[in-house]
Structure 1
Amino acid sequence: MRISRRALAAAATVAVLLPLSACGSGSDGSGSTDASGKVEGDITFQTWNLRANFKSYFEGVIADFEKKYPDTHVKWVDQPAEGYADKISADAAGGTLPDVVNVSPDLVAPLAKAGLALDLDKSAAQYKKEYLDGAWASHQIPGMTGTYAFPWYLNTGPLFYNKSLFKEAGLDASKPPTTYDELFADALQLAKKSDGKVATLANVPTVEDFGRYGVELMNKEGTAFAFNDAKGVELLTKYKELYDAKALDPQALTATPESSGKKFLTEAVAMNPGSALDLGNFKKQAPNLYKNIGITDQITSTGKVNMYVMGVMVNSRTKHTPASVAFAHFVTDAQNQMSFAKKVAIFPSTAGSLDDPYFTKEDGTDETRVRIAAAKSLKNAVNYTPVLFSEQMKTALRNEVAKALQGKESPKTALDNAVKACDTLLKQQG
């Protein structure tokens, strides 16, 4: 999983992805979907660039599991971050996919379609109630029945805004925008008052933004995209207005989450999504910005914020299904998720965990305030990025959005072309 593509500035925390793999798998399809037998056998657990920062944590989790189930042995393998998706594809093709694999929803989709991901609704349904509904649903694939990974850690974050830039534009810094109409109006005023020197936003709309705006992204069957509807065109038209007025940063067409963050840091952009981790950066790198930082909720038309989610998948061909399911559940149970959440700024996907005082009790610091607000919003959050939306599709959408903003195509034509390109790529996925 590449962190940059999970773009909220909260992505910094998602550097901890944990793809879990196991080598006890066989390509002969001899695995069993019955997880009710004795928990025993050797399985492999593969993480993704985690050993350096979390070695003692995972060694502790494995030791606790092996103590609980003395007839098991968990081999832990840590892979470098780069090329992880390619590695999963190669392992899947070669029959060497590990027993337990940490995946993001978009990575689990092709594995589920290939019959390599265990359907937890059949093999581990008794655990479903332990997780937030939205988190459990995040590893379901349109057009298929079943759930194909245990939900693991979640992330989301607020919108940060620069109070001094709002004041200079004659806006009430104590009342940041809470709706899209307010956002667009404030952005146009900020650009006008600063003679185009201050943009409000630094990123072009992504599929997640269309989702938050209330656009229907796909048909129910998962066979075609639908974000070129009237609401989708409306959003892109608004962004075109912002772009023309310099209320959207001119470099937004090529921006990354990192470059957008720097624009906000240097006070060239008035608003930026982020996470509790960013506050420490502001304090260190931009004390003047930190002094004027405002914190508000993500803007949505749906009432539900976006959730970034990681999962733990069981290889359907593992030779040790009971042990693999037990271990995947153990890593993602409430106790271990809570422990992990206190080591890095992520949030547990287990039901009730977000009611812990760690996520509800104020202590007067901005960091805690952000953590509490994020935890509250996650209770009914959704992952807006469709699980079938590949990197190629993201590129296709981005290219068409750029053409619309530059006036090379109308917003309607651009989205029609993007949907057409994404539908073609979808068919190629099989």
Structure 2
Amino acid sequence: MRSARILLAAVTSVAVVSLSACGIGGSGDSGSQSTANDGPVTGDVTGTISFETWNLKAKYSDYFTGLIKQFEQQHPGAKVNWLDQPADGYADKLSADASADSLPDVINLSPDFAYPLYKKKLLLDLDKAAPDAAKDYLPNAWQGNVMPGQKDNYAFPWYLNTGPYFYNKKLFTDGGLDPNKPPTTYDELAQQGLTLAKNTNGAFAMLGQTPQIEDLGLYGVDLMDPAGTKFTFNSAKGVKLVELYKSMYDAKALLPEALSATYTGSGKKFLAQQVAISSGSAYDLQTFRTDAPSLYANVGITAPMTNTGHANMYVQGLSVAAHSKNKATAIAFGRFVTNAQNQMAFAKIVTVFPSTAGTLNDPFFTQDDGTDIGRVRVASAKQLANGINYTPVQLSDQMKTVLRNELANAMLGKSTPQQALDNAVNQCNQLLGH
């Protein structure tokens, strides 16, 4: 199933570009600072720091302006300069700053954006610099910012998200399925998909997307070796998942046009009631209400399919530049922005979820208020308590394209599922330098 990055990007249409392809430079040690990761950072919270976000100023200026003002009032000797970059070109801007050794003090990064900066030793190891911080956050959110093969974290967890799945109860009924029992595992998805296809003779499909890397993780496939140095998703379990999708494709339970390079995505096909199940967000539910009332009347909400018992979790964080001249202030501000009170306030104006320990137990996340956003919020919050960020931070956009193309070959019978995954793994490992 499609598991697109459903973060604040769903609100701001953030373009996701892999930094690993941007030629990030930087010496990793300018010589102007003491060793960046040698222990706890101490000192007065004073001096000027820069704080960079990603396409947030247009809609959330009041929130961040107030947040900065409050921090500066609590620390009279500190000043925060807020920098907000547009979605387009954010990766290039980070790359240029990294090459010039001029990264902002506090930087809004997702784990895949943090990875190439971490490799160049441009980010502060927060497990060492702020050893008392981890307890304030959900363990899985803290772990989501731990780099491959490491035990240490390179970002304070900020907001989280996860995608519920929508299904069309009428199409389930028309396909001979129980509208009150949507699939909970990929094996159930395939079984129900084949039943639906048999009963409808291709009038509509069960789903409209070939598997992505998250699906392999949700199925229980080991995506990389323990050290995070090589991709390993061409295992027997990975092959089994591709075989399930192949069986659905052959039976027309998987929309054939999903293999097209110009495909518009399963979300639009779900809106057009051409597929019976698709991932989405609260904003999709609002769209169904206004643009497809007949669909909205029959929409069910369910947790994502998973064979591991853990939903997919999307993570954003705040990293601290290793060469910040005011590390104590940068750390204090990063923790301030991501504390429980401020994350809760942010979650109430944006459809995201806090990463702080215990906050998801608040009634705001456990009690349905009857609204569309409320329905999805409660359903999603349940998934985040033990969610996992399955997507390897090493996976570039080029590698995603490789996987998509090889899986299309498997669906079309141009290669076996094993050959397709072998080809994808080999090409991805070559791109990693192996």
Q: Who is 1:131 aligned against?
A: 137
Residue of structure 1 equivalent to 2:289: 283
State the alpha-carbon separation in 2 of the partners of residues 407 and 366 from structure 1. Answer: 41
What residue number does 2:165 align with?
159
Contact 2:7 2:160 in 1 (8 A): no
Task: Call closer, same or farther: CA 1:6–1:167 in 2, change over 3 Å.
Answer: closer
Residue aligning to 1:324 = 330
Say if 2:112 and 2:394, in contact at 8 Å, map to a contact too. yes
Q: Which whole-Å CA distance do the structure 1 matches of 2:98 and 2:262 have between them?
A: 31
* Matching residue's letter, 1:333: N
Separation of aligned partners in 1, 2:373 and 2:78 = 40
1:242-269 CA distances to partner (integer Å, 9 max, x unpaired)? 1111111112124799632111011001
User: How is 1:104-183 mapped onto 2 (pairs within 5 angstroms)?
Assistant: 104-183=110-189
Aligned to 2:46: 40
Residue number in structure 2 paired with 1:191: 197
Deviation at 1:312, TM superposition (A): 0.6
Evaluate the alpha carbon distance shift between residue 256 and residue 86 of structure 1 in structure 2; reply closer, same or farther with a 3 A threshold.
farther
Name the SS for the 1:76 alignment partner: strand
Deviating more after overlay: 188-197 vs 66-75: 188-197
SS at match of 2:67: helix
Q: Give the match's secondary structure for 2:107.
A: strand
Normalised TM-score (structure 2): 0.92
8 Å CA contact 2:115–2:394 kept in 1: the answer is yes
| Equivalent residue number for residue 373 of structure 1 | 379
Q: State the shift of 1:93 in Å.
A: 0.9
Task: Give the Cα–Cα distance (whole angstroms) in 1 for the partners of residues 226 and 92 of structure 2.
Answer: 29
For structure 2, the residue ranges without an aligned partner over 5 or more in a row are 17-27
More moved, 219-228 vs 242-251: 242-251
Runs of 5+ consecutive residues of structure 1 not aligned to the other structure: 19-25
Distance 1:257 1:329, change over 3 A: farther
Match of 2:390 among 384, 390, 397: 384
Which amino acid counterpart does residue 303 of structure 2 have in structure 1? D
Equivalent of 1:349 in 351, 355, 360: 355
Aligned-partner residue type, residue 30 of structure 2: D
Counterpart of 2:20? none
Correspondence 1:264 to 2:270: yes
Relative to structure 1, is the Cα distance of residues 145 and 336 closer, same or farther in structure 2, using a 3 angstrom cutoff? same
Which residue does 2:10 correspond to in 1?
A: 12
The question of 1:406 aligning with 2:412 is answered yes
Matches of 1:125 and 1:15 in 2, distance apart? Answer: 35
Q: State the match for 1:294 in structure 2.
A: 300
Aligned equivalent of 2:346: 340
Deviations 1:190-243 (A, max 9, x none): 222222121111111111000000001111011111100000001011111111
Asked if 1:423 is matched to 2:429, the reply is yes
Which piece of structure 1 moves more, 83-92 or 335-344? Answer: 83-92
Task: Give the stretch that moved more between structures: 356-365 or 102-111.
Answer: 356-365
Q: Deviations over 1:308-342 (max 9, x none)?
A: 11011100011110011111111111111111100
1:364-390 alpha-carbon deviations (Å, 9 max, x no partner): 444323211211110110000012212
Secondary structure of the structure 1 residue equivalent to 2:265: helix
C-alpha distance in 2, partners of 1:235/1:200? 16
- Secondary structure, aligned partner of 1:219: coil
Provide the residue aligned with 2:223 in structure 1. 217
Q: Aligned ranges for residues 298-317 of structure 1 at < 5 Å?
A: 298-317=304-323
Mapped partners of 2:33, 2:140: distance in 1: 29
Deviation at 1:5, TM superposition (A): 8.6
Residue aligned with 2:432, SS: helix
Provide the secondary structure at the position in 1 that maps to 2:133: helix
- Aligned partner letter, 1:12: A
The AA in structure 1 aligned to 2:33 is: G
Residues 254 and 340 of structure 1: is their aligned pair in 2 closer, same or farther, counting only changes over 3 Å? farther
SS of 2:71's equivalent in the other structure is helix
Residues 97 and 396 of structure 1, relative CA distance in 2, 3 Å threshold? same
Report the Cα offset of residue 16 of structure 1: 7.2
User: Which residue in 2 is equivalent to 1:359?
Assistant: 365
Deviation (angstroms), 1:17: 9.7
In the superposition, relative to structure 1, how do residues 67 and 255 fare at CA in structure 2: closer, same or farther (>3 Å)?
farther
RMSD (Å), alpha carbons: 2.1
CA apart distance, 1:96: 1.6
Per-residue Cα deviation, 1:288-325 (whole angstroms, up to 9, x for no partner): 00001111111100000000110111000111100111
Report the counterpart of residue 109 of structure 2 in structure 1.
Answer: 103
| Residue 234 of structure 2 corresponds to residue 228 of structure 1 | yes
Residue 28 of structure 1 aligns to a residue in which SS?
Answer: coil
Query: 1:23 — aligned with what?
Result: none
Q: Output the amino acid matched with 2:105.
A: D
Q: Distance in 1 between matches of 2:405 and 2:147?
A: 26
Query: Shift of residue 77 of structure 1?
Result: 1.4
Cα contact 2:286–2:372 (8 A) shared by 1: no
Q: Alignment partner of 2:404: what SS?
A: helix
Moved more, 342-351 or 384-393: 384-393
Q: Distance in 1 between matches of 2:110 and 2:264?
A: 21
Change (3 A) 1:10 1:27: closer
Q: Normalization by structure 1: what TM-score? A: 0.93
Find the aligned partners of 2:276 and 2:411 in 1 and give their Cα distance. 20
